[in-house]
């Protein structure tokens, strides 16, 4: 048995939403009826608040709503890596008409995709880090400087993200590798570039929020 995740619920809507998201993220799972024995190989069980008392397992995650599903699945990924918390999260951004975005946690890509507006990028990042404990996990956002629009995106990120998040500008030379030009390949290319940007070292931007916070403390 390779599945390390179990979904234990008889609630139709909850089951549908959970398993669809797991499949989309390529996470294998088994389905259980609450009260059934959980195989020893399973590392985490997803269930609902009303059914959790029927589940006997040391690691249980509770599905609450569709809006919290991203956080739930990210928690599953962390558990499957055997981590209590990530030490380092790096988010790479490849600016452009389509904005490539990749989230790398302790060296492993846990999320990737394309965004089509500055606000969508901000929303994606905020959603990803809203449950992060900054005393345990360092978070940095690295943005490529290949197109002038990166400056506007950088300012928006500086205004919107918590002061604990480091912002870094990275040179894009060599991050865009040619692919056969079609809509799908362009999307893949932006994501691949975002991953490479996340792995590079650039120069750290002084956060305006951090300056304002320090001024108030003084």
pLDDT digits (tens, 9 = 90+) for 2-45: 779 999 999 999 999 999 999 998 999 999 999 999 999 999 99
Strand arrangement, sheet containing 88-94: 108-115, 99-105, 88-94, 138-144, 166-170, 203-205
Two tokens at 28?
């294998």
pLDDT digits (tens, 9 = 90+) for 103-145: 999 999 989 999 999 999 999 999 889 889 999 999 999 999 9
Measured distance CA(12)–CA(17) in Å, rounded: 9
Specify the pTM: 0.76
Of 43-52, 65-74, 107-116, highest mean pLDDT:
43-52
Residue predicted with more confidence, 127 or 54 = 54
- 34 — phi, psi (to 5°)? -50, 130
Complete domains list, the chain, with CATH: 5-80 (3.40.50.2300), 88-217 (3.30.420.140)
Measured distance CA(161)–CA(138) in Å, rounded: 14
Two tokens at 191?
């994501």
* Residue-level pLDDT at 174: 62
pLDDT digits (tens, 9 = 90+) for 131-180: 899 999 999 999 999 899 999 999 999 999 999 999 999 997 765 655 55
* Residue-level pLDDT at 182: 47
Q: Tokens 């397992």 label which residue? A: 57
Q: What is the rounded (10 degree) CA torsion for 55, 67, 114, 30?
A: 20
Q: What is the rounded (10 degree) CA torsion for 211, 101, 92, 215?
A: 0
């Amino acid at each position: 048995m390779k599945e390390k995740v179990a979904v234990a619920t008889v609630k139709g809507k909850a089951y549908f939403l959970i398993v669809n998201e797991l499949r989309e993220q390529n996470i294998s799972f088994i389905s259980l009826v609450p009260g059934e024995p959980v195989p020893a190989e399973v590392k985490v069980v997803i269930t609902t608040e009303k059914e959790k008392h029927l589940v006997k397992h040391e690691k249980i995650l509770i599905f609450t709503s569709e809006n919290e599903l991203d956080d739930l699945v990210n928690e599953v990924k962390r558990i499957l890596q055997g981590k209590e918390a990530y030490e380092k999260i790096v988010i790479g951004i490849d600016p452009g008409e389509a904005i490539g975005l990749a989230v790398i946690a302790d060296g492993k890509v846990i999320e990737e995709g394309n965004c089509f507006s500055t606000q969508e990028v901000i929303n994606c990042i905020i959603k990803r880090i809203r449950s992060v404990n900054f005393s345990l996990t360092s978070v940095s956002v690295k943005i490529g400087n290949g197109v002038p629009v990166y400056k506007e995106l950088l300012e928006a990120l500086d205004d919107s993200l918590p002061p604990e998040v480091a912002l870094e500008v990275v040179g894009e030379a060599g991050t865009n590798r040619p692919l056969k030009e079609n809509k799908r390949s362009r999307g893949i290319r932006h994501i691949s570039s975002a991953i490479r940007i996340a792995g590079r070292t650039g120069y750290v931007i002084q956060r305006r929020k951090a300056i304002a916070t320090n001024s108030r403390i003084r």
